[in-house]
Amino acid sequence: MMRGQLVERDFERPEKGLYPGIEFHGHWREFLPIVATNLILTLVTLGIYRFWAKARERSYLWSRTQFIDDRLEWTGTGKEMFLGFLIVLAVLVPAGAVFQVLVSRGGPVIALIGVLLIYAGFFYLIGVARFRALRYRVSRTRWHGLRGGSEEGGWSYGVTAIVMSLLTGFTLGLAYPAAQVSLWSERWGKMQYGDAPVSVTLDKTPPGLFGRWLLIYGAFICLYAVLFGSFFAGMSASPESSESWILVTVVLFTLGFYFGLPLLFVVYYAKFMRSVIGEMSWMGVDLRFTASTLDWIKLYLGHALLVLVTLGFGLLFIGYRNWAFFVRHLEASGTIDPDAIRQSELRMRTDAEGLAEAFDIGGI
């Protein structure tokens, strides 16, 4: 089939079930030379090459990812990501310096207001950065010559991110699932690919998600209840018993905090990803994510084992493993009408991921 030619194709194969319309054809042996040279060049250039390194890695991962009958293509460059980063720094650094001078010359009230504004601005810009990073990646992803993006600049999304953060804080964390679902829906719902919008039908928190979050919430409360309960029990006990109480409490709290809570969060996150992706579609193609909690646990344990066995070098493969995991658990079903798809008329943005890089939330 010639590149750029679209054909109508039905993914549903009743005799075999759901056809995995998205497939990954990469191999770690192909990825090894890329990350090895990226590491050397990044060290030699004191970190500057990391923008080009990211572009090379994405180019490989995208080219090994097939959606229906054509592989993806990454068209972003290290140069544009580097320039985007410099532009953001050229704005943020002087602005921060001027603001610092104004606060230092003012009184306590001015200083307090300044600190609050800094925190508010920080969270606001993180929200804008997340939106723009997604917009950039969609706009630099080609499939059959099509590209995507968004007309939005992310400014309203930044406001939503602050509102959701405040809502989560005021409810002592109980609103976290609803806030994350809302942010996901707004972020992806404002994207389009070709001239067709990405559809997200998340109008409420998916069933079962809040219950899993309550497990984390309850476990967190129980951990600190045990901690303070043991502390007061130890105060009224003899010195020998007190030492035993403290030792047992520290061990239990450490195990619960560093192993129990992360495990429960994986249980929650697995449900979250299945729920939000399952409500997404594009041009009549419905998406479905199949990774279970056990699949995520295996992924993270594999990460840890890889890093330990390779004495840290395996960190370079985390992005590869995450991408392969995501694609291999992503399924699509539906029919694409080639006559209904047109190229996006959105202008190509040049800010790349500068804001996301400035806050170190660039990801893959």
- Name which of 87, 17, 156, 36 is nearest 353 in CA terms: 87
The pLDDT tens digits for 243-261 are 777 787 888 888 999 999 9
Residue 202 CA: distances (Å) to CA of 160, 162, 258, 337: 16, 20, 32, 25
pLDDT higher than 90, residue 211 = yes
3-state secondary structure 257-307: HHHHHHHHHHHHHHHHHHHHHCCEEECCEEEEECCCHHHHHHHHHHHHHHH
pLDDT higher than 70, residue 2 = no
The pLDDT tens digits for 30-57 are 999 999 999 999 999 999 999 999 999 9
Domain ranges of the chain: 79-194+335-364, 207-277
Tokens standing for 279? 């409500």
3-state secondary structure 190-220: CCEECCEECEECCCCCCCCHHHHHHHHHHHH
Which residue would you say has higher pLDDT here, 314 or 247? 314
Proportion of the chain above pLDDT 90, given as a percent: 60
- On whether the CB atoms of residues 327 and 24 are closer than 8 A, the answer is yes
Task: Report the DSSP beta bridge partners of residue 74.
Answer: 141
The pLDDT tens digits for 62-92 are 999 999 888 999 999 999 999 888 888 887 7
pLDDT higher than 60, residue 317 = yes
Distance (Å, rounded) from C-alpha 167 to C-alpha 243?
41
Q: Specify the pTM.
A: 0.88
Place of tokens 């084992």: 305
Tokens standing for 318? 């985390």
